[in-house]
Structure 1
Amino acid sequence: MSAEAFSKLTIGETMVTTRAGARARTAPVQRSNSSSLSSAPPSLEEVECQSVSGIKYDIAGLADEVRKRARHGLIHQNDAIKLKYCKTISHDPSVYMFYIADDISLRMGEGYDAPECSCGANVGGLACKHIFWMLDRLVNAEAPDKFKSQTLRLATDGSTVQNLQPAEIVDNQGLENVANDLDCMFQDDREVEEIEEEVREDIGRLLSVFDPSGELPDDFRNSQPPILSEQARKYREFQELFTEFAIEDLRLFGRLRSLIDPTFQAHVFFDKINDRAIRTFNALDEYIKNPDSMAERYDVVTCAEKLRNLVTLVTDYQAANDRSRDVANRAAESLLIILNGVVSRNFNAYANVTSRIVPEEPAENNLFVCLIGAPATGGGHFVLDTLGAFPQDDVLKNHWEMLRNIKEELEDDTTPFRAPASFISTFRTITSESRKRTNPEPGGSSAKRPMK
């Protein structure tokens, strides 16, 4: 909340802060010869209430029933009340709706003198426990810590704090920012069915990090494979179950997004990419050794297509997170693992195969030629087109060992085929630019043989 908004949050001169003050200002002078007839001073519980958040409220001016509601909302049921999501009214964005578990909703904003609650206890405009709870959540989310050292005055009906409407707090910050502060979902003005479908997709993407079959975030959109392991089947059943609960309570969805943060998602994504790359190379080796094996196996052309798809996945992921240096670093590592595996297979994969007819064209029997030596029309430079767009000084300096291995393979005169001159030129440009911009750390990459 802005400093101007909180300028209203000052303690008024008429505010009761002590028992003596309460008596002096509210009780008439009593004259009696018997001291036993004097009224007892109000208890601290009747004058002041400290919420679970640590903020103190003056409740001396509240009626007994309203005071009980205040204590319930601020203290006794603070943890029991759960906020699901919030939104604005489609035809009037100045009206804010907060949806609480048990199908209860709070409404506030322009045209409302005080917040309204659908729980049924908000009769006659007197605040219910949900309104007191929301007041405290808003003040705690937006007020500086210094206000926790003061005692804030509540209106007699519980509708305002320090003469400040809760809707004013939302006005100052914006509902979406308030939703972030309150750790709840902000729901835009789309149809419920559209929102539910988006939640389903997002949950599938988030939970894919735990998929035992190694699926990537977008794989769940594809049709379910005909054969699933028991572990994978149970995982899918759990995903469906969690999705049902999350749609009913969007707070769960918000917690899931907070738990599976982008950094964790990126690490799992690239671990899976690296695993797929290794499995793809192994599948080619398996095809060469045993074409009738029941294990995963690819011929050269199929292997090349699988690797192209992996490069595309990495390229798209990095483009969607182009401001993340960590993503760029992990993406470069995955691309270099793939490129290193390709340049080390510059040979006829079927040279020793005599038991069956094999392709004679290098583009069909040599993985290096298929992807680098004779790329598809308009295919550009395999891996390098993506790698060259990365921030060289931040990324490539972390992968000098693989870069050196790739360089040695590309410059090896004993290999059957040489890479096109443009490919080698692009590779040298990338590595030379990286070397120019990078200052190797002592004891690190400086000990390695420099590239020429």
Structure 2
Amino acid sequence: MSAPSRQFGKLSIDTQMPTTRRQAQGRSAEKPSKPGTAASSSDDDSSEDEQDQPSSRSQPRTQGSLAKGKQRARSESSSSSTDTSTSPIMSRAYKTRDILSTFEADVLPTEFRPDIFETISHVRSPAECMIQLDLEGTIFRLAVNDHAIYRSLSRAQPVQARAVDLFQKVTKRIRITLLAFDEYAKNGTSSAHLPVPHPSVKDLGSRLQEYVDLIKDEVRERHPHGGERAAECLIFLLRDVCNRNHDAFENSTWGRRAPRGEDEDERNLFQCLIGHPSVGRPPFALDALRILPKAVLATASRHEQLDEIRGLLHRQQAPLAYRRAFQGILDSITEATSPTAGPHPGQKRPAAGAGRGGQKRSK
């Protein structure tokens, strides 16, 4: 039995679920506690889940191509903004997709059952939600249309758990991508985990930059959830890139032929992303680090890890501008978390002589 089957086998399906909002309101007046109302604009569980979920403005990229996922997200945003009649049902669909994707080992939300997600456009009755021989797709549709089932799922996988799951999956993909590229560089063995069948270091750098953009988008959308895992992911990535300041193909055993015009820096991941990045790109990964909560980066272990990266940047002779920008992030963390920092705007300083309230003033 699949994971969704085991997890949700005990969920009850309300066969009397109203199929329209008017019917839902009528039955709610008769039995206020009756579960199974269709999705509405309020989604009345009024939990953090409703406030902090990824919106249609920014969705994770697809596994086959992160760029295609970004294009799909823009398309979803456009369709939901132009058709206001479907916005409540689509809002529930985005959240349901986010929940159900956590039950897959390596599936991001926009990769989860696009065949089902793209057919959701209106409220369905329980019978219309049923898909023969497809429990997963049936649960998807039922959760979108039945509030009781949706709430059960969202309680089983709350917002924080989903944020952690997403950033863990991104970290795993980055690690697998780097290992797959190392294997390819050494033996010429291609892999489905690589951005293209026969990637260059530049191709690898572009894929890693897409992951950084994904992390940045998701940190914003899911705030305040998942910041710790996002920090771990970025620190791991920065450290790994700093340790790759060498020709990726120098130990090649398969006689790779460099494309015409490829220079030494183009075979060096550190130089591609930090030493000599593409014109117009912001400093690699630093924008994503900046938007993380300072308290997340100020823990003793992460401060030590960031200090290690600062040392690596110095030893690898990273550009001065990059090192200064990185140091600026460290300074901002120290300022924000220092107990001796000045009062926040609007906070009054203690009056002179405060703390001596028990002493009488001499005449």
TM-score, normalised relative to structure 2: 0.62
> What is aligned with 2:207?
306
Q: Aligned pair in 2 of structure 1 residues 437, 380: CA closer, same or farther (>3 Å)?
A: same
Residues 26-37 of structure 1 aligned to structure 2 (within 5 Å): none
Q: Which of residues 92, 97, 103 is equivalent to 1:204?
A: 97
Q: Deviation per CA, 1:188-215, whole angstroms, max 9, x where unpaired? A: x964x66555544432222101113x01
Residue 292 of structure 1: aligned partner: 189
* Residue in structure 2 matching 1:374, options 260, 273, 276: 276
Aligned to 1:348, the other structure's residue is in SS state coil
Q: 1:180 aligns with which of 32, 37, 45?
A: 45
**Residues 1:357 and 1:342: Cα distance change in structure 2 (over 3 Å):** same
Q: Are residue 267 (structure 1) and residue 164 (structure 2) matched?
A: yes
Q: Distance in 2 between matches of 1:311 and 1:178?
A: 32
Kept in 2, the 8 Å contact 1:288–1:299? The answer is no
Residue 347 and residue 216 in structure 1: after superposition, are their counterparts in 2 closer, same or farther (change >3 A)? same
Task: Please say if residues 267 and 330 of structure 1, whose CA atoms lie closer than 8 Å, have aligned partners that are also in contact.
Answer: yes
Matches within 5 A, 1:90-109: 98=24, 105-106=26-27
Of residues 225, 231, 235, the one that matches 1:332 is 231
For these two proteins, the number of residue pairs brought into alignment is: 264
Which residue number corresponds to residue 62 of structure 2?
A: none
Change beyond 3 A, Cα 1:386–1:319: same
Distance 1:81 1:330, change over 3 A: closer
Whole-angstrom distance in 1 between the partners of 2:252 and 2:268: 14
* TM superposition shift of 1:427: 0.7
TM-score of the aligned structures, taking structure 1 as reference length = 0.51
1:399 equivalent in structure 2: 302
| Structure 2 residue corresponding to 1:388, chosen from 290, 311, 335 | 290
In structure 1, what is the equivalent of residue 221 of structure 2? 320
Match of 1:74 in 2: none
Report the secondary structure of 2:226's partner residue: helix
Residues 1:80 and 1:318: Cα distance change in structure 2 (over 3 Å): closer
- Taking a change above 3 Å as real, the CA distance of residues 86 and 438 of structure 1, as seen in their structure-2 partners, is farther
Q: Which amino acid aligns with 1:368?
A: F
Runs of at least 5 residues in structure 1 that lack an aligned partner in the other structure: 1-78, 90-96, 100-104, 109-130, 139-174, 225-235, 441-452
Q: CA 1:261–1:339 in structure 2 vs 1: closer, same or farther (change >3 Å)? A: same
Q: 2:249 aligns with which of 318, 328, 350?
A: 350
Question: Contact conserved, 1:204 with 1:239, CA < 8 A, in 2?
Answer: no
Contact 2:98 2:162 in 1 (8 A): no
> Using CA pairs below 8 Å that are at least 6 residues apart, which structure has the higher relative contact order?
2
Partner of 2:263: 361
Q: Distance in 2 between matches of 1:80 and 1:241?
A: 11
**Cα displacement (A) at 1:356:** 2.1
Aligned letter for 1:284?
A: F
In the aligned structure 1, how far is the partner of 2:28 from the partner of 2:192? Answer: 60
State whether residues 350 and 358 of structure 1, in contact with CA within 8 Å, keep that contact through their aligned partners in structure 2.
Answer: no
Cα pair 1:284 1:299 within 8 Å, conserved? no
Q: Is the 2:219–2:292 contact (alpha carbons within 8 Å) kept by the matching residues of 1?
A: no
Query: Aligned partner of 1:265: which letter?
Result: R
SS in 1 for 2:27: strand
Cα distance change, pair 347–318 in 1 and its aligned pair in 2 (3 A): same
Q: Which has the higher strand share?
A: 1
**Structure 2 CA distance for partners of 1:195 and 1:433, relative to 1, 3 Å:** closer
SS in 2 for 1:106: helix
Written as runs of structure 1 = structure 2, the 5 A alignment for 1:234-249 is 237-247=134-144, 249=146
Contact 1:343–1:406 (CA under 8 A) maintained in structure 2: yes
Distance 1:372 1:425 in 2: 13
Amino acid at match of 1:422: A
Q: Is the 8 A contact 2:213 2:288 kept in 1?
A: no
The separation in 2 between residues aligned to 1:348 and 1:385, in whole angstroms, is 27
Aligned counterparts of 1:317 and 1:210: Cα–Cα separation in 2: 19
1:219 maps onto 2:111 in alignment = yes
Using a 3 Å threshold, how does the CA distance of structure 1 residues 263 and 83 change in structure 2: closer, same or farther?
Answer: farther
Which residue pairs with 2:57 in the alignment?
none
Larger helix share, 1 or 2 = 2
Question: Partners in 2 of 1:223 and 1:176 — Cα distance?
Answer: 24
**Structure 2 CA distance for aligned equivalents of residues 343 and 366 of structure 1:** 10
* 1:68-107 mapped onto 2 (5 Å cutoff): 84=17, 98=24, 105-106=26-27
**Is the CA contact (8 Å cut-off) linking 1:372 and 1:382 kept in structure 2?**
yes
Q: Could you give the per-residue CA deviations for residues 401-420 of structure 1, whole angstroms, max 9, x where no partner exists?
A: 321221221111xx4xx221
Question: Where in structure 2 are there 5+ consecutive unaligned residues?
Answer: 1-11, 35-39, 51-82, 117-132, 340-363
**8 Å Cα contact 2:187-2:252 kept in structure 1:** no
Q: What's the offset of the Cα at 1:176?
A: 8.1
Q: Note the C-alpha offset of 1:327.
A: 2.4
Distance (Å, rounded) in 2 between the aligned partners of 1:80 and 1:372:
54
Q: RMSD value over aligned CA atoms?
A: 3.7
When Rg is computed on C-alpha atoms for both structures, the one with the higher figure is 1
Tell me the secondary structure at the aligned position of residue 112 of structure 2. Answer: helix
Q: Give the match for residue 74 of structure 2.
A: none
Distance in 2, Cα, partners of 1:422 & 1:223? 46
Q: CA deviation at 1:377?
A: 1.7
